[in-house]
Amino acid sequence: MIRSPDLDSFVCCAICSKIIAPPPSSATFHRIREYRPFRTRYYTHRDILEIGADIQKKQQEDKEAEIQERIEKMKAELWSQAEMHKEDAVEKALKEAAAKHSAFVQDLKQELEKKLREEVRKAKAEMQRYMEDERKREAEAAEQRMAHRLQCALMECAREKMQAVAEARKQEREAALKEAERQYRKHLEQLKEESMLAEELYRKSIEQLNKEKHHEINIALSLRQKEDQIDTEKHLKAAETLYLDEMEKVMITLKAAEEQVKILTQKLEKMTHWKDSLETEIQETRQAFQKYIDATFPNLSPGQADFILPFRKAFEQKDAPEKAEDSDKE
C-alpha cells in the first residue's frame, strides 16, 4: 500500500486509488483469521476493504461513546465539587461581609465623632477670631482718631513754623544780599590786584624761560656739532681704510690677471710657433709629393692629379682670423 500525505490513511494500489484508513488492530485481525476458512476465500478485494472500513468505523464509534461517557462522569464530579465550593464560598462571603459591615459601621462612628469634634473646634476658633477682629477694629479706630487729632496738631504747628521760617529766611536773605555785595566788591578789587601781579610774574617767567631755552639750545647745538664732526672723521677713516683695502684687492687681482695674460701669451706664442713649423712641414711634404707625382706621371695635364693632392684652402681660411687676432693684439 502507498501512504497518503496526511499520514493517517493509505492508498490501496495504483489501480483503484481508493483511500483507506490505517490497518486494523490485532483483535480485528484475530476475528478475520477466525472466519477465513469459511468466508474470506470468496471475498473480492473491494469487499475486504469495505469490511475493514466498517470495522474501523465501529471502533471509532465505540471510542467516541467511551470518551463521551467519561466526559459526562467528569462533568458530574466537577458540578458536585463546584456546588460544595459554592456553598463554602457563600458562607465565607457572608461572614466576611458581616465583619466588614461591623468594621465599616465602627469606622463611620469614629469618623463622625472626629468630624463633630473638628466642627466644634472650628466654631470655637471662628468665634475667637471674630472677637479678636472686633478688638483689633476698635483699637485701629481709636488709633486712627488719635492719629487724626495728632496730625491736625502737627499741621497747625507746621504752618506756624513755616510762617516763622519764612520771616526769618527773608531777613537772612536781605542780610546775605548786603554781605554778598560787599564781598563781591572786595573780591573784584583783589582780582584786579592779583591779575596785575600774575601778568608781571608771567612776563618775567617767560623772559627767564627764553633765556634758559636759548642757553640749552646753544649747548645742545655745540654738542651736536662736535658729535657730527667726530662721526664724520670716523666715517672718513673707515672709508679711507675700505678704499685702501679695495685698492689692494684690485691690485692683487690685476697682478693675477697680468700673470694669466703672460701665461696665455706664452702659450699662444708656442702654439703659433708650432703652427708655423707644422705649416712649413706640410708645405715641404706637399712639394715633395708634388715632385713625386710629376716624376711618376709626367704626361698628366694640369688639374688631372688634383684628386691625389687637392688644393689646400683650410689653412688659408684659418690664417685670416689668426692674422686679425694678431693685429688686434698689436
State the pLDDT at residue 317.
Answer: 41
Q: Is residue 55 assigned to a domain?
A: yes
Low-confidence ranges of the chain (pLDDT < 50): 1-8, 10-11, 36-43, 314-325, 327-330
Last residue within a domain, chosen from 35, 54, 73: 73
Residue 20 forms part of a structural domain: yes
Where is the domain boundary, 73, 95, 121?
73
User: Can you say whether the dihedral through the CA atoms of 307, 309, 311, 313 is positive or negative?
Assistant: positive
Is residue 308 in some structural domain? yes
In a domain, 36, yes or no: yes
Report the alpha-carbon distance of residue 108 to residue 42 in Å, rounded. Answer: 95
CA angle 136, 137, 140 (to 5 degrees): 85
Last residue of a domain, one of 38, 73, 108: 73
Q: State pLDDT tens for residues 136-183.
A: 887 788 788 888 887 887 888 888 888 888 888 888 888 878 887 788
pLDDT of residue 299: 73
Output the nine-digit C-alpha cell for 89.
Answer: 464560598
CA distance 87 to 79: 12
Whether residue 175 is contained in a domain is answered as: no
What's the confidence (pLDDT) of residue 184? 77
As beta bridge partners, residue 19 has: 11
How do 10-11 and 19-20 pair as beta strands?
A: antiparallel
pLDDT score for 83: 79
Asked whether residue 68 is assigned to any structural domain, the reply reads yes
pLDDT of residue 48: 63
Q: Does 43 map to a domain?
A: yes
Give me the residue label for grid cell 715633395: 288
Give Dmax over CA atoms of the chain in angstroms.
Answer: 182
Instruction: Name the one residue in this structure whose C-alpha cell is 456546588.
Output: 83
Question: What range does the domain containing 17 cover?
Answer: 2-73
d(CA 130, CA 94): 53
Calculate Rg over the CA atoms of the chain: 80
180 found inside a domain? no
Torsion of CA 47, 53, 55, 57, to 10 degrees: -150
pLDDT score recorded for residue 79 = 83
If one counts the domains in the chain, the total is 2
Rounded CA gap, 142 and 281, in Å? 164
